[in-house]
Structure 1
Amino acid sequence: MEQLLFIVLAVVIIFALLYKWKKRTEKKMGNDLNALIETNNWRGVCRILRKQLIVWGLVLVLCIGLLVARIMS
């Protein structure tokens, strides 16, 4: 039981750090997107949005994996 508590705490801390990093980069990304849209650089816009899709897809897969592992144990 203690081991599970440490795992859950570690996951919560990791997600908190990732969220903080994500907020910082989101602000920069918003500025970059606005600049790319103003210059009609749609390839750059697609590249930034594709990276975001990959990042959030990985977060979703990790969450589902943790949920399945918890249910199976």
Structure 2
Amino acid sequence: MNTSKSAHSVRTRMHSAIEHTPIYDLAAYHQRERQFKRKKLLKNLFETAIFLSFAGFTFLTLFWGV
């Protein structure tokens, strides 16, 4: 069994790890996190609304004459 491939992948993962960056302004960090969360929530709501609109439109067109 060849173990060099798995040993290489472990070494590669260890060397590509990103070091922790210290947070100097905690209030600004929390504000930025809230902005990211709000932006992600709005994006998810928008995508959900589009999906439901397409699903509703498809359902209506398929069963229009029934």
State the TM-score, normalizing by the size of structure 1. Answer: 0.47
Q: Give unmatched runs, 5+ long, in structure 2.
A: 1-20, 58-66
1:57 counterpart residue number: 41
Give the count of matched residue pairs. Answer: 37
Cα distance in structure 1, aligned partners of 2:50 and 2:36: 21
Runs of 4+ in 1 over 6 A off after TM superposition: none
* Paired AA for residue 71 in structure 1: A
Instruction: Please tell me whether residue 70 in structure 1 is matched to residue 57 in structure 2.
Output: no
- RMSD across aligned C-alpha pairs, in angstroms? 1.3
Q: Give unmatched runs, 5+ long, in structure 1.
A: 1-33
* Paired AA for residue 46 in structure 1: H
Cα distance in structure 2, aligned partners of 1:55 and 1:61: 10
1:10-63 CA distances to partner (integer Å, 9 max, x unpaired)?
xxxxxxxxxxxxxxxxxxxxxxxx57x0x2x21111000000000011100000
User: Whose helix fraction is larger, Structure 1's or Structure 2's?
Assistant: 1
Compare CA radii of gyration and give the structure with the larger one: 2
* Paired AA for residue 56 in structure 2: M
Q: Percent identity?
A: 8
Q: Which protein has greater RCO, CA pairs closer than 8 Å, 6+ apart?
A: 1
